[in-house]
Chains A and B, each alone.
Chain A
Amino acid sequence: MSDDHSGEHFSQHVKRYLFVFYALLFGTLITVGASYIPFGHRAVNIGVALLIASAKAFLVGGYFMHLISERKMIYGIMAFTAFFFIGLMFLTIWSFADFPPLATQH
């Protein structure tokens, strides 16, 4: 985060926070609305919902948690975390091959 702690500087920040807040509220309503739209396959609905959730997560992480302008050290920690998190998800997906034929995606 910036080292400039002047009141004017933070007033600008506050405007940005409010914009993010409204975007998050809007995103929540869009998520609920999209869940009622039959996209043809449930997998598409899941994809759309996760896409919106990811956009909201970016706003929270980027602006409320200031990840958009952080120190290299924090980015380093996050890069390690992202690597292991993505690895965990890939392991989960690869394990689908071990499911019996009875199981199907919902």
Chain B
Amino acid sequence: MDIPYTVQPRPDTGLYNAKVGIWLFLASEVMLFGALFSSYILLRVGAVEGYWPHGWLNIPIGTANTLVLITSSITTVMAWASLKMNQFGRFKFYHACTILFAMTFVGIKSYEYHDKFTHYSIKLANGKIADGHLVEKSKDFNLEKKTGEMVIHGHEVNFAEATGEKLQEELKSIYDIRSPEGRKAKHSELRYNASQIASMETYGPWHNTYTAIYFTLTGLHALHVIGGALVIGFLWSFGGKMWKTDPERFTNRIEISGLFWHFVDLVWIFLFPVLYLL
């Protein structure tokens, strides 16, 4: 059975069916990300003053990733325009670039995730907190059995004994890294025996509400990037055969996948300032 209106527009909508379909899907996506942005706002406004992180994410890396995604958007639209101009070779080139940029974006994001999963917040037995990136962990390190040792590159803070301005300074050295107090914190290699450590955790989604919403928002976005790249990859390779048999329908498919890709870019345009800069 032939699917109707894959090329010709339906008389009532004035559009081919897939276009109506993708816009309805994107409408549901707006509400999905909207709900998560709403959660972000509530968590941020509800946080105790001084405890909402600023500067936890690397701005140059985030900026580079934003530029990568924007560039992938122009290559996507150029791929579609190439088909409209009957230039299949150019389409192949532009969409190869899109796939490459998508992989670059996911690669950079993975690097950022790795950075968080190797960043430790260690509550010491003496009440202090050691915060920094893992340098090494001895093979016999076991926190429950209190054996072995670990080394981090970071600094110690003492919330328990600090009050007034000193407490604000200590807080900012952890939570507001872009502040003058945050930049003042001196980092060095710190070595701890397991017996000195009361508890510890990485900056994964479980660390606090900021990391929870950060991983949820960026994780869902990354899944969209991967999903979109797979579809574009299919259309670039096996799916490209349709160009020979039904070029208009193939061009429409590229338009639909492109609309999804631009939406993914559009979501990132808001995620970047909200999570990295503000």
Using a CB–CB cutoff of 8 Å, the interface residues on chain A facing chain B are 5, 7, 10-11, 13-14, 17-18, 20-21, 24-25, 28-29, 31-32, 35, 42, 45-46, 49-50, 52-53, 56-57, 60-61, 64-65, 71-74, 77-78, 80-81, 84-85, 88-89, 91-93, 95-96, 99, 102-106
Contact = CB atoms under 8 A, between A and B. Distances in A.
Contact of B262 (A10, A64, A99): A64
A105 B34 CA distance: 20
B44 interface: yes
Interface string B1-29: 00000000000011100011001100100
A28 B67 contact: yes
Contact of A32 (B49, B63, B73, B78): B63
B197 to A, nearest CB: 31
A74 B23 contact: yes
A45 B45 contact: no
Interface stretch (B139-147, B219-227, B231-239, B268-276): B268-276
Contacts of B59: 32, 35
Given A17-B81, A53-B273, A80-B27, A25 B46 contact: no
A77 B44 CA distance: 31
Given A14-B81, A31-B277, A60-B73, A73 B20 contact: yes
If over half of B's interface residues share one DSSP class (helix, strand or loop), that class is named, otherwise mixed; here it is helix
A53 B258 CA distance: 20
A31 B247 CA distance: 40
A17 B74 contact: yes
A86 to B, nearest CB: 9
Interface residues of B, number: 51
Interface of B: 13-15, 19-20, 23-24, 27, 30-31, 34-35, 37-38, 41-42, 44-49, 52, 59, 63, 66-67, 70-71, 73-74, 76-78, 81, 84-86, 258-259, 262-263, 265-266, 269-270, 272-274, 277-278
Contact of A10 (B47, B84, B258): B84
A88 B27 CA distance: 14
B52 A106 contact: yes
